[in-house]
Amino acid sequence: MNFVEPTDQELDLLRALSKRVSNPRAQWKEKPGHRQRNFMAGGGDYLFEIYMRQNTNDLRDFSCGLSVFKPDGVKLTLCRYNGSSHKHGETRFRCHIHMATSEAIRLGWKPESHAEETDRYRTLDGALFCLVNDCGVSGIDKLVPDEPDMFENS
């Protein structure tokens, strides 16, 4: 794996690689303005981190992400599932999913700067459910998807 200039295919393979969480009972930690918990996971020859971060004052302000530890110990965020608390490009106050791309890395941008709007989740727990299913993660129990919002299109 070339972590200096990974291809989109290599980034996709890292996201799709089967991963097993080693600390499924990770505890929440209170921090100024938010709370966070981090899961560690192994997959193939790689070590991954899955984080959940929730603003304590705004339930729409959350992030759930998957990072891989590069050989130098630095984390590379592969994807990030954000809440609807802010604008991102054309996306206006809607949930959106960021994906690391080879182009962003090559240009020196934040690797996961590309994002697309989604209606697959509305909450942090729903985002974790989607991330776990999208990225081949096992070992976290009691995951529940968000129910469809029956008032979304009214």
SS3 content of the chain, % helix, strand, coil (to 5): 15, 35, 45
pLDDT of residue 89: 66
Closest CA to 72 of 152, 1, 151: 1
pLDDT 10s digits, 74-104: 999 999 999 987 666 665 578 999 999 999 9
CA distance 80 to 62: 10
In a domain? residue 143: no
Q: Which residues pair with 87 in a beta bridge?
A: 92
Question: What's the rounded Cα separation, in Å, for the pair 86 and 106?
Answer: 26
pLDDT value at position 53? 97
Condensed to tens digits (0 to 9), the pLDDT of residues 45-77 reads: 999 999 999 999 988 899 999 999 999 999 999
* pLDDT tier, 1 (very low <50, low <70, confident <90, very high otherwise): confident
Let me know if residue 150 belongs to a domain: no
Among 58, 44, 37, which residue's Cα sits nearest to residue 128? 37
Question: Which one-letter DSSP state was computed for residue 15?
Answer: H
Q: How confident is the model at residue 153 (pLDDT cuts 50, 70, 90)?
A: low
What pLDDT does 150 receive?
A: 55
Let me know if residue 148 belongs to a domain: no
Tokens representing residue 68 in the block: 């891989």
- Evaluate whether residue 15 is within a structural domain: yes
Q: What is the pLDDT of residues 4-24, one digit of tens each?
A: 899 999 999 999 999 999 999
pLDDT at residue 152 in the model: 55
| pLDDT at 88 (0 to 100) | 60
Consecutive H or E run containing 116 = strand 114-117
Across 101-130, average pLDDT: 94
**pLDDT exceeds cutoff 50 at 154:** no
Number of domains in the chain: 1
Residue range(s) defining the domain that contains residue 63: 8-135
Residue 145 lies in a domain: no
Domain-located, residue 140: no
